[in-house]
Amino acid sequence: MKNQVNILYKPSSFFLLLCLSSSSIATSHHEPHWGYEGESGPAYWGELSEDYKLCKKGMKQSPINITQTVTQKSLPATLNFSLVEQTIQNNGHTIQVSAPGGSSVALNEQQFKLVQFHVHTPSENTIEGQPFPLEFHFVHKNEEGRLAVVAVMVKEGLSNSAIAGLIENAPSDAGQSASIDERISVESLFPFFKDYYSYEGSLTTPPCSEDVKWLVMKSPVTASASQIFSLNEIIGHSNNRPVQQLNDRVIFESN
């Protein structure tokens, strides 16, 4: 089953020539340990490895505080939602669902396929200085390996069936993964209204590589207080990078 939803997209030539994740890039055992606390936390990422230097010196870093936006006409894009085989992993940094070959977003006549999605608690991006209890990142990649990330904020409210599925299937111990028998609906993690903010940014974890296209949905979805608490318990720690300087970037707002 596939549903198409038209949204707006600010055309851009900047996409990341990397693979996989805005938050959880697969690392080899040779790479330095990074985390969210102490001397391996965000303030020190740029000093852990030469490969991570953009975490300290980059000028287009994510996340950001979304404010003072510019409204601009833009070209249409299409989100395609579908249910496919999924695997869920607790990688020690986040809860991540791999969904290769499933949902996609069409941008400027290019297909960006959803590779995985994962959750941050609390949110990484903020809107007018407001953080949210949770933020989902949907990582899309085209055939050239370029990335587009769609972010969805979560506020406390009614329970969400897709989030219930995450909680039910998520391994409690870091390093574990499992197949999901009853597939999680990506569409259920998106708001009804698809207006968004967009900006040029980076991965929010090492190596903090830049030229990631970010689309942040204006409207949040809801999760119950118990669902928010449960995801926090499973992850075991806050996993949000602090807001970064905007510098000379422009934040666009769909109309």
pTM of the model: 0.86
Three-state SS annotation for 175-225: CEEEECCCCCCCHHHCCCCCCEEEEEEECCCCCCCEEEEEEEECCCEEECH
pLDDT mean over 110-136: 95
pLDDT in tens, 130-166: 999 999 999 999 888 889 899 999 999 999 999 999 9
Mean pLDDT of 113-118: 93
How much is the pLDDT for 10?
Answer: 39
pLDDT at 4 over 70: no
Long-range contact set of residues 33-39: C-beta below 8 Å, sequence gap at least 24: 34/205, 34/206, 35/93, 36/93, 36/237, 36/238, 36/239, 36/240, 36/241, 37/237
- Residues 212/13, Cβ–Cβ less than 8 Å: no
Least confident window among 52-56, 98-102, 170-174: 98-102
For the chain, how many structural domains are there in total?
Answer: 1
Residue 31 is classified by DSSP as S
Q: What is the mean pLDDT of the segment spanning 85-100?
A: 92
Chain mean position to CA 193: 18
Q: Distance (Å, rounded) from C-alpha 201 to C-alpha 58?
A: 10
Among residues 30, 93, 118, 137, which one is catalytic?
Answer: 93
Q: How many residues does the chain have?
A: 255
Residue 195 belongs to domain spanning:
3-253
| Least confident window among 102-111, 157-166, 179-188, 212-221 | 102-111
Q: Is residue 93 annotated as part of the catalytic site, yes or no?
A: yes
Check which CATH number belongs to the domain holding 117 and give it. 3.10.200.10
Q: How far apart are CA 89 and CA 152, in angstroms?
A: 20
State residue 37's pLDDT score.
95
Least confident of 57-71, 80-94, 101-115, 225-239: 101-115
Token code pair at residue 197: 């903010």
Nearest to 105 by CA among 214, 26, 210, 22: 214
